[in-house]
Structure formats: C-alpha cells, structure tokens
Amino acid sequence: MLSPAILLAAVLNGLMTGAVYALVALGLTLIYGVLHIINFAHGALLTAAMFAAFFAHKLLGLDPYIAVVFVAPLFFLLGYGLQRFIIGPAAHGEDRNILLVTLGLAVVIENALLYAFRADTRTINLPYAFDVVEVGPAFLALPRIVAFVLAFAVALGLWLMMRWTDTGKAIRAVAKEKLGAELAGIEVAHIYAVTFGLGTACVAIAACLLIPSYYVNPHAGNAFVLIAFTIVVLGGMGSVAGALIGGLFVGVVESLSGYYLGESLGQISIFVMFILVLLFRPSGLFGERA
Amino acid sequence: MSRQFLPVSRRRFLQSTALGAAATVTGVLSAPAVLRAQGAPVKIGVLHPVSGALSYSGQQGRIGAVMAIDEINSAGGIKALGGAKIEPMLGDAQSTPEGGNAEVEKMNAASVAAIVGGYASSICLSASQTAARYDLPYIVDVGVVDSIVTRGLKNTFRFGPGFGVIAKTALDNLVTLNDQAGKPAKTVMIVHEDSAFGSGLAKLLNTQLPERGFEILETIPHPTPTRDFNNVVLKIKAQNPDLVIPANYYNEYVLLARTMQQQRVRPKGIYSVLGGAASSYKFVKEFPEAAQYIMDCNHWFDPKNPKALALKKKVEEKNEFYTYEVYMNYSCVLLLADAIERAAAADRAKIIAALEGSTFAGHVMPYGPTRFVNGQNQGAAPVNTQVLSNDIQVIFPASFASAKPVFPMPRA
C-alpha cells in the first residue's frame, strides 16, 4: 500500500486540487481581511461564475481558458456593484448585518440559478480534457496542471498588486486602520467595493479553471467553500500567502488522508486540522496577531 | 368623509353572512351530484422533490407524470366518469421526508383521489405513511427500499421492483455473464457512496459476491459530493481488479468514470447496480468514451414496446433526457388512471380495491404480468443494460434484450 509511486501521485494530485482551493480561499481571505466579514455568498458566486464559463463555452464556443479574460472582469464589476450598492448600504455600518446580507444574497443567487437552469448537472467536454502529462509514475490531467499554474500566477499577481500599486496600498491601509485611511483621503466605500470585486474575480477565475474537469449545478460551488473557510483560518485571515500555502497544504492533506483513511473518513482530517488551528494558533499560520 | 366606508349596517351584515353560510352548506352538499353529471375533474397528487439535492430526478419524474396525465386527458379522460379530466396537483417534497409529509397533508386537504411519486426511498416511506392516515392511495414511483411495502400499509403500492429483487437479479446476471465469457473475472473492487443506498448495497455485495466465487479486493466508500476521484482511481490502479462495481449518484459516477479514463485504468468490466449514471443517456451523450461498455442493472423501459419508443421520441423532442424517472412515473400514472377507470369513482377506498386487483398491461416497462401482493407488483423487475457504440442496449433478460453483452471489454 505504501508504494512511493502511489504516494507521489497522491501528493501531486493534492497539490493540483489544493491550488484551486487556494484560489477560492484567496477571494474569501481578501474580503475578510479588508471588510472583516465572512462572505457567505462566496459559494453562490462561484456557482454563478461556473455557469458563466459553461454558457460562454456552450453558446459562444469560448474555451474556458479564453473565457476567463471576459468572465473575471465581469465578475469584478458584479462584485463591485454588489458591495457598493447592496451589501454596503444594507449593512448600515454593522458587521453582523453584512453577514446576514451576504447570506441572503447566497440564497437569492442559488435559487435564481435553480429557477433559471434547473437542478440539471452540466459538464463540458473539451478535446484536451482527457490529455494527461506523465510525471514519473503519475498521470496528471492537463486541465489540472493549467489550473495549478494559473492559480499560482493569480496569487502572485495579487500579492504584487497589494504590495506595489496605490490601490493595493489603499486596500492595506483600509484593512489596518479604516478611520486613518479615510482621514488620509482614501475613499473607503470605493476600496471596500474594489476588494469585494477582486475577491469575486478570484472566484470567477477559479470557476473557469474548474469547469473543464468538474461539473456545474446550482449547488456546485458549496462543495468548495467550506474547504475555503478552513484554508482562510489555517493560512491566517487576510493573508494572500497564507491562502496559497494553506490551500496547497489542505489539498495534500485531503489527498493523503483520502487515500489512507478512505474518502469518507479523509474529510475528517481537514476539519480536525481546522479545530487544531483554532485551538493553538487562532491567528493562523501567516496571520497577524489580533 | 370619515363615515363613507361604512355602508352596511350591523343587522344587514349579520343577515347576509348567515345567508352566505347557508348557501355554502347547500352548495357543498349538492356538489358531488352536480359534478358527477358534468364529469368533474379527478384530482391526483403528483409529488416529487423538485427543489433541493434531488431536484433533477424530481423534475424528471414530474415530466413523466404530467405527460401521462396530458395523454389521458387528450384521449377523453376517465370514460367511466363521463370523460372526467385528471387534474394534477403538483407538490414539491423539497428533497426531505418532512417536505413530502407537508405536501401530502396539503393534497389531502385539497381532496385528491390518490398520490403518485416520492422518488427517494426516505420520502416515499414517510409520505405513504402520512397518506395512510387518510386512507389515501399512494403509488410509489421509484423508492426501492424494501420496507416501503413490508409495513402492511393498505394504501401503498409500488409498481417498480424493490432493492432485494434488483440486487438478486444483478448478482444472478453477473454470474451468468461471467460464466458465458469463460469466467474471466475473479477479483472485484467496490466504490460506493456512504449513505444508506451505497452502503447497503456494498454490504450486500460483500456477503453475496464471495459466495458466488468472486474475491473482493477492497471496498471504498466516499461521501456525496466528492470533489475528486484521483485517489480512488489510484487505489484501483494499484490493486488492478477484474471488475469495478460503482454504487453512487450521477455526478460522482461521472467523475469516477472520467477519472478512470484519464488515469488509463481499464478493468475487464465496470458493472453497476442502480448506477447513478451507468444507464443515463445524458452521460453517454456527453462522455461517450468514458461510458463505453459500462454495464448496469437498473430500471429501464421495454425496448420492444412501441409505446415506450413513442414516449422516448416525445420526451427527446422536448429536449429532455429519457431517464427512468420519466417512464416510471408515466407508467404509474397510467396504472392509477386504469384503477380509477375500473373503480368508476374517485373514491379512495374503491381505488385502493381496484389497485389491489390490477392486472394493468398498458405500461412501458419490461415487467411480467401485473399482480400486487401486499402492495408490491410481483411482475416488476430490473434489466441489465450496457453502453454500446453511443447507445444504451438491454443485454439481460433475453426476452427483452436488444444486444449481446460485450464482456470482457476490449482493450483499446
């Protein structure tokens, strides 16, 4: 059972899956880091983006990897609009209101999708979906390798943006000290919306990377969001590097425990980890001390 | 100004309400006679989980039931009731037993003559129990758990086969298949989802297969939903079994089959029992290569029945897939309409009596003669199917077969 070939294959698989988890978590952690809310609509937005990628392929014949160029900006605007015109105004400055608004949004989006597209499970069949790359003894599916590389690129891009651009600096300023940022002339409502938009765009990219090897139905996004929450807590709320490393780590843990404990029991290890992190390092691996 | 919205005096008001109440009472009392003469519609409850986790199956089931009702109505309704039309009352069980119960209560309050549907075993179990309190006839469309018909409920009828019959048929046919091919398969791996359906089946296979000369290398459970099957497939690859038996729902089934194709794992056969996607036109259409040669023991229509083929055409013209939920519900509604016809009344007790004595043959299923014992149709049986060149063919039993099985699957 413990053959190194299988072990290597399982670890590689975990890394591939983990990269996509990381991308979903990246959006979540960004929104949490700045707005200090858990965005419950994250899963629903992921589902919506998967539908967008699906229909871009079905109706316009766009490859998901090309569609990402359109879907990501579209979802940035959607996220921006949601925060600026719905979540922000409806919150009246109270965090728990935001929580409920995002929860409400999730219900609305999911049911709107259910109404529009029914519960039908949809998949797209791409010519390269079954192409594999042999890495030693392991066969790695091409879409998963693409997802891995792109997820890294997005994380790097996001990190650079946060570090060097004015918008990135403004986001960090708002996250650290809202009032101070406002006094320095930063428009907080705008930065909030930009952050929400960026988080939503991350989810849209994840959706385009997922759709070649996964399926979409009105509940598909939820399967990823619980994991993303775990990753955000593990990596440290609000930390880009934490989300990436956390995502990869969770992917590998899930893969190995799935392999050695079975898929049913394997899920437990993720949540055991979640509880352990909360107990012993509540700020996460890369999080700042509260 | 302020007085103008009080045109009715208190006395006048009391008089009129009393009159109204009297009118209502007489109206209700005289209604049945009047309605009978006009061939008043017969209300039947059509209950499916059209929202929630099971919504796809529920929606497919509803399509089948409604198509049957439309056909009956356009062919002149229930003739024994003066051409009375059947009026469906559509209910959503919301994929939970409680949701199913609530709908049964509503349907009973709306005086339906009978209920068809339920889909999931858990919903069928509780909904039929609730209906039993009102002596309301309940026809189970799919729900395969055997306890549905062993509780002694007089109102509950299942037209399709139960789990015990399906599992036995599946095992018998597997042995036949293997023997005919010269016993190429000796080792088996089972991949099952970890709720009642998959686990129950895995347990049964674990006791039955060794008795029939198969060795089980490993049994792998997984949750629903499972995001990734690479690990499961790695395990299959490491053990290299002759047969893989998956028992899971549609999405997981498809992911598993796709991952197996991707990882180039090709056992001698993939054989499923009530496989989530194994005999689904949707799967075959979308992933013809992954689906090729997969065998299944499942509900299926009679491929030699022209009525079944006509229905298939009609469903496909509506751009829907011809899934088992469709033709099973279609058949159940026809069964019920036949009973109402023979009962010559929308009376619940009379319909139950008519169902008990039913020998209905106008359905589209590959079943033996209809005969109900304790609510279970004794003629009901599953068939074995195999995906062969982008179509799904019946391979067992011989009387309904449309193709010869291809086993072991050819090496590509």
Domain ranges of chain A: 25-225
pLDDT band at B29 (very low <50, low <70, confident <90, very high): very low
What span, in angstroms and rounded, lies between the C-alpha atoms of A246 and A244? 5
Chain B: residue nearest A118 by CA? B56
Does A150 have pLDDT greater than 50?
A: yes
What span, in angstroms and rounded, lies between the C-alpha atoms of A7 and B260? 18
From A139's Cα to the closest Cα of chain B, the distance in A is: 6
- Per-residue model confidence (pLDDT) at position B1: 40
Pairwise pLDDT comparison (A118 vs A187), residue with the higher score: A187
Q: What is the mean pLDDT of chain A?
A: 87
Does B231 have pLDDT greater than 90?
A: no
Residue B265 sits in the same domain as residue B388: yes
State the CATH number of the domain containing residue B375: 3.40.50.2300
Does residue B223 contact residue B194 with C-beta atoms inside 8 Å?
yes
Residue B281 sits in the same domain as residue B326: no
Report DSSP state, residue A37.
-
- Domain containing B345 equals 42-161+303-380
- Per-residue model confidence (pLDDT) at position B20: 46
A125 part of contact set with chain B, CB < 8 Å: yes
| Range name among B20-24, B356-360, B368-372, B374-378 with the lowest pLDDT average | B20-24
Share of chain B above pLDDT 90, in %: 69
> Bridge partners of A140?
A133
Chain B: residue nearest A251 by CA? B228
Q: What is the C-alpha R_g of chain A?
A: 19
pLDDT band at A1 (very low <50, low <70, confident <90, very high): low
From A100's Cα to the closest Cα of chain B, the distance in A is: 21
| Range name among A262-266, B172-176, B237-241 with the lowest pLDDT average | A262-266
Does residue B166 contact residue B274 with C-beta atoms inside 8 Å?
yes
Does residue B237 contact residue B213 with C-beta atoms inside 8 Å?
no
Mean pLDDT across A29-53: 90
Q: What is the mean pLDDT of chain B?
A: 88
Residue B168 sits in the same domain as residue B157: no
- Per-residue model confidence (pLDDT) at position B32: 46
Is there a contact between A215 and B255 if contact means CB atoms under 8 Å apart?
A: yes
Please give the full DSSP string across B355-397, using - where no structure is assigned.
HHT-----S-S------EETTEETT---EEEEEETTEEEEEES
| Range name among B68-82, B158-172, B218-232, B243-257 with the lowest pLDDT average | B218-232
Residue B225 sits in the same domain as residue B286: yes
> Bridge partners of B191?
B220, B246
Is there a contact between B250 and A121 if contact means CB atoms under 8 Å apart?
A: yes
Residue B112 sits in the same domain as residue B189: no
- Per-residue model confidence (pLDDT) at position B412: 59
Omega within 30 of 0 (cis) for the link into B225:
yes
From A132's Cα to the closest Cα of chain B, the distance in A is: 7
Q: Which positions in chain A touch B254 (Cβ < 8 Å)? A: 121, 123, 215
pLDDT band at B225 (very low <50, low <70, confident <90, very high): confident
Mean pLDDT across A131-157: 86
Residue A89, Cβ neighbours under 10 Å: how many?
A: 11
pLDDT in tens, A32-42: 888 888 888 99
Q: Strand B372-373 relative to strand B376-377: parallel, antiparallel, unpaired?
A: antiparallel
Chain B: residue nearest A21 by CA? B227
A271 part of contact set with chain B, CB < 8 Å: no
Residue A160, Cβ neighbours under 10 Å: how many?
A: 12
Is there a contact between A262 and B221 if contact means CB atoms under 8 Å apart?
A: yes
B232 part of contact set with chain A, CB < 8 Å: yes
Element (H, E) at B354: helix B348-356
Residue B216 sits in the same domain as residue B272: yes
b/e map of B163-182 (b: 16 or more CB within 10 Å)?
bebbbbbbbebbeebbeeee
Residue B294 sits in the same domain as residue B191: yes
Element (H, E) at B192: strand B187-193
Does B217 have pLDDT greater than 50?
A: yes
Residue B412, Cβ neighbours under 10 Å: how many?
A: 9
Residue B276 sits in the same domain as residue B307: no
Chain A stretch 105-124, residues whose beta carbon is closer than 8 A to a beta carbon of chain B: 114, 118-121, 123
**Amino acid identity, residue B239?**
Q
- Per-residue model confidence (pLDDT) at position B97: 92
pLDDT band at A56 (very low <50, low <70, confident <90, very high): very high
Q: For residue B229, give both structure tokens.
A: 């099957």
Is there a contact between B289 and A130 if contact means CB atoms under 8 Å apart?
A: yes
Is there a contact between A17 and B263 if contact means CB atoms under 8 Å apart?
A: no
Share of chain A above pLDDT 90, in %: 43
Chain A: residue nearest B284 by CA? A125
- CA distances for B245 relative to B221, B259, B392, angstroms: 12, 15, 18
Residue B255 sits in the same domain as residue B396: yes
Pairwise pLDDT comparison (A245 vs B223), residue with the higher score: A245
Pairwise pLDDT comparison (A121 vs B387), residue with the higher score: B387
Residue B91 sits in the same domain as residue B213: no
Please give the full DSSP string across B50-114, using - where no structure is assigned.
-SSTTHHHHHHHHHHHHHHHHHHHHTTSBGGGTSBPEEEEEEE-TTSHHHHHHHHHHHHHTT-SE
Is B213 among the domain residues? yes
- CA distances for A132 relative to A127, A129, B73, B76, angstroms: 12, 8, 54, 59
- Per-residue model confidence (pLDDT) at position B35: 46
Q: For residue B272, give both structure tokens.
A: 């499923």
Q: Which positions in chain B touch A121 (Cβ < 8 Å)? A: 56, 250-251, 254
Does residue B162 contact residue B218 with C-beta atoms inside 8 Å?
no
> What's the number of domains chain B is made of?
2
- pTM for the model stands at 0.77
- Per-residue model confidence (pLDDT) at position A236: 83
Residue B157 sits in the same domain as residue B172: no
Does A289 have pLDDT greater than 90?
A: no
Residue A176, Cβ neighbours under 10 Å: how many?
A: 12
A139 part of contact set with chain B, CB < 8 Å: yes
Chain A stretch 235-264, residues whose beta carbon is closer than 8 A to a beta carbon of chain B: 255, 258-259, 262-264
Residue B277 sits in the same domain as residue B351: no
- Per-residue model confidence (pLDDT) at position B358: 95
Is there a contact between B232 and A1 if contact means CB atoms under 8 Å apart?
A: no
Does B148 have pLDDT greater than 50?
A: yes
- CA distances for A3 relative to A137, A255, B29, angstroms: 11, 15, 80
Does residue B185 contact residue B173 with C-beta atoms inside 8 Å?
no
Is B36 among the domain residues? no
Q: How many CB pairs under 8 A join A and B?
A: 86
Q: Which positions in chain A touch B232 (Cβ < 8 Å)? A: 258, 263
Is there a contact between B59 and A118 if contact means CB atoms under 8 Å apart?
A: yes
Cβ neighbours of residue A66 closer than 8 Å, sequence gap 6 or more = none
Q: For residue A39, give both structure tokens.
A: 């965005």
Report DSSP state, residue A216.
B
Q: For residue B252, give both structure tokens.
A: 């997981």
Residue B47 C-beta-side C-alpha neighbours within 13 Å: 40
